[in-house]
Amino acid sequence: MGVQKMASVKPVVWSLIWLAIILLVLFVMVSNVLAQEPTPASSEVTDDQVNAIAKQLFCPVCENIPLDVCPTQACAQWRDLIREKLAAGWNERQIKNYFVEQYGARVLGAPPAKGINWLVYIVPPIAILGGIIVLYRALRSWKAPAGFSAAVSGQTGHVESTALPSDEYVRQLEEELRKRD
Protein backbone atom coordinates (compact mmCIF):
# COMPACT_ATOMS: atom_id res chain seq x y z
CA MET A 1 0.00 0.00 0.00
CA GLY A 2 2.81 2.34 0.99
CA VAL A 3 4.59 1.69 -2.28
CA GLN A 4 1.39 2.26 -4.19
CA LYS A 5 0.92 5.54 -2.39
CA MET A 6 4.43 6.62 -3.25
CA ALA A 7 3.89 5.64 -6.84
CA SER A 8 0.78 7.78 -7.10
CA VAL A 9 2.31 10.72 -5.29
CA LYS A 10 5.62 10.89 -7.06
CA PRO A 11 4.41 12.21 -10.42
CA VAL A 12 2.38 14.84 -8.58
CA VAL A 13 5.50 16.10 -6.83
CA TRP A 14 7.52 16.09 -9.98
CA SER A 15 4.95 17.87 -12.07
CA LEU A 16 4.59 20.54 -9.40
CA ILE A 17 8.35 20.95 -9.14
CA TRP A 18 8.54 21.25 -12.90
CA LEU A 19 5.74 23.77 -12.92
CA ALA A 20 7.54 25.82 -10.27
CA ILE A 21 10.81 25.67 -12.22
CA ILE A 22 9.14 26.61 -15.51
CA LEU A 23 7.34 29.52 -13.84
CA LEU A 24 10.54 30.69 -12.20
CA VAL A 25 12.53 30.55 -15.43
CA LEU A 26 9.76 32.32 -17.35
CA PHE A 27 9.56 34.92 -14.62
CA VAL A 28 13.26 35.71 -14.68
CA MET A 29 13.44 35.77 -18.47
CA VAL A 30 10.38 37.97 -18.94
CA SER A 31 11.59 40.30 -16.20
CA ASN A 32 14.88 40.77 -17.97
CA VAL A 33 13.25 41.63 -21.26
CA LEU A 34 10.86 44.06 -19.66
CA ALA A 35 13.64 45.67 -17.68
CA GLN A 36 15.66 46.66 -20.73
CA GLU A 37 15.92 50.41 -20.97
CA PRO A 38 17.57 52.57 -23.58
CA THR A 39 20.30 54.82 -22.25
CA PRO A 40 20.25 58.35 -23.58
CA ALA A 41 23.24 60.06 -25.08
CA SER A 42 24.07 63.33 -23.40
CA SER A 43 25.17 65.41 -26.36
CA GLU A 44 21.88 66.40 -28.01
CA VAL A 45 18.59 65.92 -26.19
CA THR A 46 15.78 64.58 -28.37
CA ASP A 47 12.10 64.15 -27.51
CA ASP A 48 12.65 60.41 -27.61
CA GLN A 49 15.32 60.62 -24.92
CA VAL A 50 13.01 62.70 -22.76
CA ASN A 51 10.13 60.29 -23.29
CA ALA A 52 12.31 57.28 -22.52
CA ILE A 53 12.67 58.62 -18.99
CA ALA A 54 9.23 60.22 -18.72
CA LYS A 55 7.72 56.85 -19.63
CA GLN A 56 9.08 55.37 -16.42
CA LEU A 57 7.74 58.16 -14.24
CA PHE A 58 4.18 58.81 -13.22
CA CYS A 59 2.56 62.21 -13.26
CA PRO A 60 3.00 63.53 -9.70
CA VAL A 61 -0.46 65.09 -9.62
CA CYS A 62 -2.71 62.98 -11.84
CA GLU A 63 -3.83 59.46 -10.97
CA ASN A 64 -1.93 56.67 -12.67
CA ILE A 65 -0.89 58.48 -15.84
CA PRO A 66 2.67 58.01 -17.12
CA LEU A 67 4.48 61.31 -17.52
CA ASP A 68 5.29 60.78 -21.22
CA VAL A 69 1.61 60.74 -22.24
CA CYS A 70 0.03 63.06 -19.70
CA PRO A 71 -1.57 65.94 -21.65
CA THR A 72 -1.63 68.52 -18.85
CA GLN A 73 0.44 71.68 -18.89
CA ALA A 74 2.14 70.73 -15.62
CA CYS A 75 3.39 67.49 -17.14
CA ALA A 76 4.70 69.30 -20.21
CA GLN A 77 6.77 71.42 -17.81
CA TRP A 78 8.05 68.32 -16.03
CA ARG A 79 9.08 66.87 -19.38
CA ASP A 80 10.94 70.13 -20.09
CA LEU A 81 12.62 69.70 -16.72
CA ILE A 82 13.83 66.24 -17.77
CA ARG A 83 15.16 67.79 -20.98
CA GLU A 84 17.07 70.45 -19.05
CA LYS A 85 18.56 67.87 -16.71
CA LEU A 86 19.60 65.70 -19.64
CA ALA A 87 21.19 68.71 -21.33
CA ALA A 88 23.03 69.43 -18.09
CA GLY A 89 24.53 65.96 -18.30
CA TRP A 90 22.42 64.15 -15.72
CA ASN A 91 21.84 60.46 -16.30
CA GLU A 92 18.60 58.54 -16.07
CA ARG A 93 19.13 57.36 -12.50
CA GLN A 94 19.94 60.86 -11.27
CA ILE A 95 16.84 62.32 -12.87
CA LYS A 96 14.61 59.61 -11.45
CA ASN A 97 16.12 60.12 -8.01
CA TYR A 98 15.55 63.85 -8.34
CA PHE A 99 11.85 63.30 -9.07
CA VAL A 100 11.52 60.87 -6.14
CA GLU A 101 13.13 63.40 -3.80
CA GLN A 102 10.87 66.16 -5.03
CA TYR A 103 7.55 64.35 -5.28
CA GLY A 104 7.88 61.11 -3.35
CA ALA A 105 8.06 57.47 -4.37
CA ARG A 106 4.67 57.65 -6.08
CA VAL A 107 6.29 59.02 -9.24
CA LEU A 108 7.89 55.63 -9.83
CA GLY A 109 5.95 52.97 -11.75
CA ALA A 110 6.61 50.42 -9.03
CA PRO A 111 7.55 51.07 -5.40
CA PRO A 112 11.28 50.95 -4.57
CA ALA A 113 12.00 47.71 -2.69
CA LYS A 114 12.69 49.14 0.73
CA GLY A 115 10.86 49.39 4.04
CA ILE A 116 7.35 48.07 3.96
CA ASN A 117 7.39 48.17 0.15
CA TRP A 118 9.10 44.80 0.18
CA LEU A 119 5.68 43.39 0.85
CA VAL A 120 4.59 44.31 -2.65
CA TYR A 121 7.09 41.90 -4.14
CA ILE A 122 7.01 39.17 -1.54
CA VAL A 123 3.33 38.57 -0.94
CA PRO A 124 2.27 37.32 -4.42
CA PRO A 125 5.06 34.69 -4.74
CA ILE A 126 4.37 33.48 -1.19
CA ALA A 127 0.66 33.26 -1.92
CA ILE A 128 1.29 31.36 -5.16
CA LEU A 129 3.68 29.04 -3.35
CA GLY A 130 1.00 28.53 -0.72
CA GLY A 131 -1.43 27.70 -3.54
CA ILE A 132 1.01 25.14 -4.94
CA ILE A 133 1.34 23.52 -1.50
CA VAL A 134 -2.44 23.42 -1.02
CA LEU A 135 -2.86 21.93 -4.48
CA TYR A 136 -0.15 19.38 -3.79
CA ARG A 137 -1.76 18.36 -0.52
CA ALA A 138 -5.16 18.18 -2.18
CA LEU A 139 -3.84 15.95 -4.93
CA ARG A 140 -2.18 13.77 -2.31
CA SER A 141 -5.33 13.48 -0.28
CA TRP A 142 -7.19 12.18 -3.32
CA LYS A 143 -4.93 9.21 -3.26
CA ALA A 144 -5.80 6.40 -5.55
CA PRO A 145 -8.03 3.66 -4.14
CA ALA A 146 -6.53 0.24 -3.50
CA GLY A 147 -5.75 -1.60 -6.67
CA PHE A 148 -5.78 1.61 -8.66
CA SER A 149 -2.16 1.36 -9.71
CA ALA A 150 -2.91 -1.99 -11.23
CA ALA A 151 -5.85 -0.47 -13.07
CA VAL A 152 -3.63 2.32 -14.35
CA SER A 153 -1.00 0.00 -15.64
CA GLY A 154 -3.70 -2.20 -17.14
CA GLN A 155 -5.23 0.81 -18.84
CA THR A 156 -1.90 2.03 -20.16
CA GLY A 157 -1.14 -1.44 -21.44
CA HIS A 158 -4.48 -1.45 -23.17
CA VAL A 159 -3.77 1.83 -24.89
CA GLU A 160 -0.39 0.61 -25.97
CA SER A 161 -1.78 -2.59 -27.38
CA THR A 162 -4.45 -0.87 -29.43
CA ALA A 163 -1.99 0.17 -32.04
CA LEU A 164 -3.03 3.74 -32.43
CA PRO A 165 -5.40 6.27 -31.04
CA SER A 166 -6.98 7.17 -34.31
CA ASP A 167 -9.78 4.57 -34.38
CA GLU A 168 -10.00 4.45 -30.63
CA TYR A 169 -10.18 8.20 -30.57
CA VAL A 170 -12.95 8.34 -33.13
CA ARG A 171 -14.92 5.83 -31.09
CA GLN A 172 -14.42 7.80 -27.90
CA LEU A 173 -15.31 11.03 -29.61
CA GLU A 174 -18.52 9.62 -30.99
CA GLU A 175 -19.37 8.31 -27.59
CA GLU A 176 -18.76 11.66 -26.02
CA LEU A 177 -20.80 13.40 -28.67
CA ARG A 178 -23.67 11.06 -27.99
CA LYS A 179 -23.59 11.91 -24.34
CA ARG A 180 -25.22 15.16 -23.53
CA ASP A 181 -22.78 17.67 -22.26
Partner 1 sequence: MVANFGYGALVIAFLISLYGVFAAIYGVRQKAPAWVESARIAMLLTWPLITLSALSIIFLLVNNHYEMEYVTSVTSNSMPFYLKVTALWGGQAGSLIFWSWLMSAFASAVTLRKWERDREFLPWVIVVSLVTLAFFILLSLFVENPFERLWLAPSGEIAPAMFQPAGATLFTPQDGQGLNPLLRHPGMIIHPPMLYLGFVAFVIPYAFAMAALITGRTDDRWIRITRRWSLVAWLFLSLGLILGGRWAYDVLGWGGYWGWDPVEIAAFMPWLTGTAFLHSVMIQEKRGLMKHWNMVLIILTYDLVIFGTFLTRSGVLSSVHAFAQSAIGPLFFSFIGLTFVTSLALLLHRWNELKAEGEMTSVFSREALFLLNNLLFMGILVVCFWGVIFPLVSEALGIVGQNVPALANIFTGQKVTVGPPYYERATAPLFAGLLFLMGIAPLSAWRLSTARTLGRAAWKPLIVSLVIVVIVFALGTRQWAALLGFWLCSFVSAVTLYEFWRGSMARHRKSGESLPVALWHLAGRNRRRYGGYTIHLGVVLMAIGIIGIEIFQTETQGTIPVGGQLSLGQYTIHYDSLANFDYADGRNVSRAVVSVYKNGNYVGELHPRRDYYYESQQPMTIPGVRSTMEDDFYLLLVDWQPISTQSATFKIYLNPLVNWLWLGGIVFILGTLIAAWPDKDPEPVVVEKRSPQVAQARI
Question: Which residues, numbered 82-101, are part of the site for partner 1 (CB under 8 A)?
Answer: none
Stretch that binds partner 1, among 19-27, 81-89, 91-99 (CB under 8 A): 19-27
* Shortest distance (Å) from residue 88 CB to partner 1: 21
Does 48 interact with partner 1 (rule: CB under 8 A)? yes
Does 157 interact with partner 1 (rule: CB under 8 A)? no
Does 133 interact with partner 1 (rule: CB under 8 A)? no
Residue selected from 128, 137, 150, 162 as contacting partner 1 according to rule CB under 8 A: 128
**DSSP assignment of the chain, as one string?**
-HHHHHHHHHHHHHHHHHHHHHHHHHHHHHHHHHH------SSS--HHHHHHHHTTBB-SSSSS-BTTT--SHHHHHHHHHHHHHHHTT--HHHHHHHHHHHH-GGGBSS--SSGGGHHHHHHHHHHHHHHHHHHHHHHHHSPPPTTHHHHHHHHHHHHHHSS-HHHHHHHHHHHHHHS--
Residue selected from 42, 94, 97, 117 as contacting partner 1 according to rule CB under 8 A: 117
Of 28-47, which residues contact partner 1 (CB under 8 A)? 29-31, 33-35, 46-47
Residue selected from 123, 137, 150, 162 as contacting partner 1 according to rule CB under 8 A: 123
